[in-house]
């Protein structure tokens, strides 16, 4: 399925959010992350953007790419925004370190060639 302009913009936002999160955590240990509310909030904000951009993708586009767990990407955004008191930093760290690289590997090939960079 060919992505429309809105889908392409949302994909771009998702890729950029993941890249920024990776920049935030790359030089941190888990202990450093836990001791820095600023870093925690930066990662959470990146995950909010990631989930919101995923939510904005057309349903047709999401259905065309079932290899991506859209429900959990969007669901995490909802928890961070609406049930922020339930955010578990251990889980956020695990997502940032272990899950986002695989998600990025799925998303980057979906970007139009002139958008990769």
Annotated catalytic residue, options 77, 83, 91, 106? 77
55 is catalytic: no
Are 54 and 14 within 8 A, CB to CB?
A: yes
Are 19 and 104 within 8 A, CB to CB?
A: yes
88/2 Cα distance (integer angstroms) = 37
- For residue 100 the two structure tokens come to 């986002």
56 is catalytic: no
Annotated catalytic residue, options 38, 82, 83, 106? 82
CA distances from 91 to 30, 56, 60, 74, 77 (A): 11, 24, 30, 15, 13
Name the residues annotated as catalytic: 77, 82
């Amino acid at each position: 399925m060919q992505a429309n302009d809105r889908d392409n913009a949302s994909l771009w936002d998702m890729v950029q959010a993941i890249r920024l999160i990776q920049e935030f955590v790359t030089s941190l240990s888990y202990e450093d992350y836990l001791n820095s509310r600023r870093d925690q909030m930066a990662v959470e904000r990146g995950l909010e953007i990631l989930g919101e951009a995923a939510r904005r993708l057309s349903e047709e586009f999401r259905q065309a790419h079932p290899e991506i767990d859209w429900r959990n990407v969007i669901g995490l955004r909802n928890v961070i925004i609406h049930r922020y008191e339930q955010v578990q930093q251990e889980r956020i760290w695990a997502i940032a370190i272990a899950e986002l690289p695989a998600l990025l590997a799925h998303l980057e090939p979906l970007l139009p060639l002139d958008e990769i960079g």
